[in-house]
Each structure stands twice: as C-alpha cells, then as structure tokens.
Amino acid sequence: PLAQLNDPSLLKTDGLINGQWVAGSSRFDVHDPATGQKLADVANLSPQDAEAAIAAANAAWPAWKTKTAKERSIILRKWYDLLMANQDDLGRIMTAEQGKPFPEAKGEVAYGASFVEWFAEEAKRINGETLPQFDNSRRLLVLKQPIGVCAAITPWNFPLAMITRKVAPALAAGCPVVIKPAELTPLTALAVAELAQRAGIPAGVLNILSADAANSIAIGKVLCASDVVRHISFTGSTEVGRILMAQSAPTVKKMSLELGGNAPFIVFDDADIDSAVEGAFASKYRNAGQTCVCTNRFYVQEGVYDEFVTKFAARVLTAKVGNGFEAGVNQGPLIEEAALVKVQRHVDDAIAKGGQVVAGGKRLSSLGSGQFFEPTVVAGATADMLCAREETFGPFAPVFSFKTEQEAIDAANATEFGLASYFYSRDVGRIFRVSEALEYGMVGINVGILATEHVPFGGVKQSGLGREGSHYGIDDYVEIKYLCLGDI
C-alpha cells in the first residue's frame, strides 16, 4: 500500500533529533495489521538518543520562545496547510500501519490537523493580566510563560491526532517538544515530523524518538527522570499513566494524562430509538472499537430494551469488515493479536455468564492472517461480567437493561474511569439531571461522537489530568508568573 504515495519522500524511517534524521544503532519492524506484512524497519532509538533529543530541545528553546506569537503562529499555520495538502498520503500511511479504513484515516488527518490550525490561532491569545494594586505605589501583573521542554508519549489508535493535540499547544506556547510515538505506528508520526520540518519548525524544536516496546520503556524513564523536561503529556492506558506519574514524582513534573475510559451509553424509554441506534453504532465501532471514548457498556431501559437490541443488532450486521483500503469497509483489523484475544475473552466471559449473542461473537478468519473480529452485540449483560469493569477496546457491545434513572446513573458511575459518557433522552429535565450526575469529563446527549478541536477533551477520576484542545488546551504548557512592581 505504501508504493502508491503521491510523495514517497514522506515515508521516513529514521528518528528526528535536532533537525537531523537519525538511523539509530538498531531497527525494528512495522507491520500492516490487515495482512501481517512487514511495511518498513524503523530506527530503534535508545535512552542515549533521548538524552540527545532533550539537550537539543533545551538548546532550541530560547530562540523558539522569543519568537513573537505571530511568528510561531505563521509556522504552525504552514504546518497545518502541509498536513491537509498531504491528507491522502498521511491517510494511506496510517491505514497501512494502523488498519483503520482509509476514509476514517483521512478523517483523522483532518481532525489532527485541526489542532494545529486551532493552536496557530490560540498562539496569539496567550494573554497575561494586570490586577488592581493593594498599595498605590505598586503595580501587579500576571505573565504566562512557556513551561519549558515538553515530552509527549502517544498511542497507536490515533497515530496523528494524539501527536498534534499535544504538540501544537506546546509549540504555540513557545515550548520545544520531544515525542515518543507508539511503536506500532511510528510511520505516521515520522511523516508528520517531516512536514513540520518543511513548515519551518526549527531544528531541535520538534524531535521524534521512534523506538520499539523495550526501548520505549527505557526512554520513558529518561523523559520522566530529566530535570530539563518540565512537562509530560501521555495518552494511553491507565496502567502506564500510573507508571509515568510515579516515575515523574522525584522531579515534580507537570503532567497531562489522557487514560482509559469505560464509557457508558444509556438509552432511556423516552429516547428516539433510531437515532440512539445510529449513535450507538458510531460510538462503538469507530476504529474497530479502539478509542478511549468508544462505548464500553450499553444500558437500555426496560420499555425499549427489545426494540433497541433488535434494531442495533440489525444495524451492526450491515457493517462491512475488511482491509481498510477496500471500498465500503466500516471496520478494519484490530491492531495486534493480543487485542483480539482480549475481545474474545470478554465475549466468551459474557456468554459463559448468560449473555446472548445477537450479532457476531468470533474472529473472522476468512479474511486471512489479519486480526479481524466480527462486530459483536451481546444482550442480557450483567454487572458480574468482565466487560462491566474492564475496557474491552474492541468491537464488542454488551447491552444491560435497567429500570430506573437512578439505577442507570449508579451503574454508569460504578467504575474508576470517567472519560466519555453518552445518553439518549428527549426529556429536558432528565437531560439536566443525568448530565450533572454522570461523573465523566465529557457527556454526549443524543450524539455518539463528540470530539472536535475547540472543545475540552479529557477525563475525571482515573481517566486522567488536564484538558486537550479548546482554549483550555494551552493551560498545561504555560507557567503563571506574578510580578509585583514597587516604587511607582
């Protein structure tokens, strides 16, 4: 699939440190999850390379932070234009290494690029304040200054957008960055870095440490332990987030964490069921269920339970599974074998505890060696099932039934996670009651998809710290300084 790029020079396989492409002392393979085929071998950078990248970023910082906001904004805007001009190629690279359907991959390029556009604009609005003096011989001011060298550790499910959502606000605020992309999807990250170079982002301001799983762990330790790195932004599992937090305690690092979710999707008796079915389908099966905001648990009120299950199963059975490059495919492969094993474990557990399969239920081995799993719906789900507690991160929809509004709220909140939640209702009182009662950072009401660049994305409880995107998205990348000026 990579032979068809319009611009083959976007296919980079080396890391980027201080504006130089670095081959590394070893390499690791990247595979196509739809076919198992090797796509490329990529530089496996080391902890020493991480030290070099941190030093390069720190050296590049003074010149970057003293550019005017408008100068930084113009460079970011150019990067945005290049990302969009290369949408097809970036989408192609992404589908090849990540598996999501090509139209969905191109959608992610546009979504990811939109953060660069947004923060190019926000760069010019990082305003300080003047405060009323408590003594007329003084003047009181608040400055916002870039926090310093930032590190970003990103996942494979959004190989482009999770980079731009972190890097664009950092660059806008005047911070240099060191990025450690996911080992399963480094090619998209490297192409994005190549376009950053072409946009004129100076040497050392944006560095990329491609690395395999073992070196990623070692590099993570270096980034956390460094006194120079002032901020770490991570998107990934709660388990790894906890490790990074613990490792960052000795240097009291600021952190933005976007961790696991266990999103509930509640359908009340008064909902528009056809709309709920469409929202449920979009929310569950996008990216083959591999997003942290994908619904994990469906709660449907008794009066509409049978209707919802019947219509939802029928909708799910229309989905086409296959190689993301094939026209009309809605669901690609899962990222790796372990992901498929986890989905099967959750489905088998649900069946063993009395769940009824109404769609799918097993691996699609007819599609060759890729990790394809049937879009699956299991009715009669209960609280003792694994899927009630753990994030499945795959195309499995368990459907629970409930009687009262309070019962649904309690079930939805019975988790340590608190990222996205969804519910369907046409009752305005209920909409306010339930929105306020859900312990989640984001609530979708009568919608199944809610992310965009100018809204605050993030979670509560063990789903993370901080908000990405929106005007709040800059906050984590600036320090607030109070100036107290006397002798006026």
Q: Which residues are catalytic?
A: 258, 292
214 binds ligand ADP (CB under 6 A): no
Choice between 155 and 469, CB closer to ligand ADP: 155
Residue linked to tokens 């870039």? 146
Contact characters 321-360, ligand ADP, x per CB under 6 A: ----------------------------------------
According to CB under 6 A, which one of 23, 131, 141, 217 is a site residue for ligand ADP? 217
Contact window for ligand ADP (CB under 6 A) among 169-177, 214-222, 264-272, 368-376: 214-222
243 binds ligand ADP (CB under 6 A): yes
Residue 343: CB minimum distance to ligand ADP, A = 14
287 binds ligand ADP (CB under 6 A): no
Residue 435: CB minimum distance to ligand ADP, A = 28
Residue linked to tokens 């100068």? 71
Residue 474: CB minimum distance to ligand ADP, A = 23
Measured distance CA(242)–CA(230) in Å, rounded: 18
Q: Using N-to-C axis directions, what is the helix angle for 87-98 and 186-199, rounded to 10°?
A: 160
Contact window for ligand ADP (CB under 6 A) among 237-245, 354-362, 374-382, 445-453: 237-245
Residue 421: CB minimum distance to ligand ADP, A = 20
Count Cα atoms within 13 angstroms, Cβ side, for 190.
31
262 binds ligand ADP (CB under 6 A): no
- Map the footprint of ligand ADP across residues 114-153, applying CB under 6 A: 153
240 binds ligand ADP (CB under 6 A): yes
According to CB under 6 A, which one of 154, 226, 233, 401 is a site residue for ligand ADP? 154
Residue 395: CB minimum distance to ligand ADP, A = 16
Residue 222: CB minimum distance to ligand ADP, A = 10
What residue number has its CB nearest to ligand ADP?
Answer: 220
Measured distance CA(388)–CA(212) in Å, rounded: 32
Size of residue set near ligand ADP by CB under 6 A = 14
Contact characters 163-202, ligand ADP, x per CB under 6 A: -----------------x-xx-------------------
Residue 306: CB minimum distance to ligand ADP, A = 35
220 binds ligand ADP (CB under 6 A): yes
Q: Using CB under 6 A, list all residues that contact ligand ADP.
A: 153-155, 157, 180, 182-183, 216-217, 220, 236-237, 240, 243
